[in-house]
Amino acid sequence: MGTVIRHGHDRATSGAKVANTPHSDLVLPYGDQFNDGIVQVSFTLPVAAGALAEEAARQTMKLMGLEEPQVAEVAPIGENATFFVGYGKLTRPVELSKLRIAKPMWEELDQITINRLVQETLGRAMVVVGAATGQDAHTLGLDAILNYKGFAGNRGLEAYSALKVVNMGSQVPNETLVAKAREVSADAVLVSQVVTERNVHLANLTNLVELLEAEGLRDKVVLVVGGPRITHALAVELGYDAGFGPGTRPQDVASYLAQEVARRVLN
């Protein structure tokens, strides 16, 4: 791979040359000029404002790997707390070609296609059970995906003729969810996790997988988790089939479910 692109410290002498030779594989944060590596940080240190705090902030930024740390703002926000805004330069680029990402392996389908695909592969409606599990009382995400009204103009799963939705609401114990999945012969189980304090969601999500396995249901359902802190990679790592993060529309989930069920039937 190519050499690391470094800027001179003086903007006047470094700018034009480097900016004209963008390297497509090695990237640094982009501030004012290509690959100048400039990042902006803000953080609080539990130190009273003053010269010591400011130096501590600069050192903190150096420990982040930032060169030429500049403290732009020093704000005392409590007896022993100081807030900083700072700028610095990163010098170690990311090599794009070496990155591995967990990419969802499905494409976006429209409502009619989704309904047809499900009917063709299952010969019936697909049963989808959804719940916000454990202590989680937030149904906002779950409702946005399941309720007919949907989210941002995108109709919820209830609006799909080929999906039969059972919305169990919030604070559903994993045991209750598994029992319901068995009762209605669920094809898919959707779990919503909003509360992520102290990683409480991770234990809860793992517990659900274990329960489904113990009940012999794990392979019978498409298991999906969604929430503001969920990524597809995390979901897969936890033993789920897919994970959906912020900005997910009902159509994304429906597209996935239809294609995953079709894949399983065809295999």
Partner 1 sequence: MLRLSLDAKTVERCHEISENITSRVIDELSSLSTVAIERTVARFAGIEGVTADGVPLANVLVSHLVEKGKIHDGVAIHLANACLALGKTPAGISEMISRGEIDISNLEWQGTEEVTRKAREICKDSLDKIRARRAEREVLLEQLPVTQTPWLYVICATGNIHEDAVQGRLAASQGADVIAVIRSTGQSLLDYVPHGITTEGFGGTYATQANFKLMRDALDEESHKLGRYVRLVNYCSGLCMPEIAYMGAVERLDMMLNDAMYGILFRDINMERTFVDQNFSRMINAYAGIIINTGEDNYLTTVDAFDAGPSVLASQFMNYHFAKKAGLRDEQIGLGHAFEIDPSIEDSLSYELAMALLVRQLFPDCPIKYMPPTVHKKGDIFTSHVLDSNFNLVSVLTGQTIHLVGMLTEAIHTPLIQDRYLSIRAAAYMRQAAKHLGHNLEVKRGGLLEARATSILDDTLKLLERVNEQGLFAAITEGVFAGVKRLRTGGKGREGVFKKSRWYFSPVEEALRAGLSGESLGEGPIQD
Q: How many CA atoms are closer than 13 Å to the CA of 26, on its beta-carbon side?
A: 17
Least Cα distance to 170 among 132, 227, 130, 142 occurs for: 132
Question: How far is residue 261's CA from residue 267's CA, in Å, rounded to a whole number?
Answer: 10
Q: Which is nearer to partner 1, 45 or 109 (CB)?
A: 45
Quick check: is 149 catalytic? yes
Question: How far is residue 124's CA from residue 138's CA, in Å, rounded to a whole number?
Answer: 31
Q: What share of the chain is helix, strand, coil (3-state, %, to 5)?
A: 40, 25, 40
The strand pairing partners of 190, in sequence order, are 130, 224
Least Cα distance to 94 among 60, 115, 65 occurs for: 65
Q: Which is nearer to partner 1, 42 or 176 (CB)?
A: 42
Q: Which is nearer to partner 1, 239 or 245 (CB)?
A: 245
Q: Residues with Cβ < 8 Å from 34, sequence gap 6 or more? A: 18, 19, 22
The strand pairing partners of 222, in sequence order, are 188
Q: Which is nearer to partner 1, 27 or 195 (CB)?
A: 195
Minimum Å gap between C-beta 89 and partner 1 is: 21
Active-site residue (options: 62, 149, 164, 220) = 149
Q: Which is nearer to partner 1, 2 or 169 (CB)?
A: 169
Residues binding partner 1 (CB under 8 A):
42-44, 75, 77-79, 81, 83, 135-140, 143, 147, 149, 169, 171, 195, 197-198, 200, 228, 246-247
Do strands 126-132 and 242-244 pair parallel, antiparallel, or not at all (unpaired)? unpaired
The residues carrying an active-site annotation are: 149
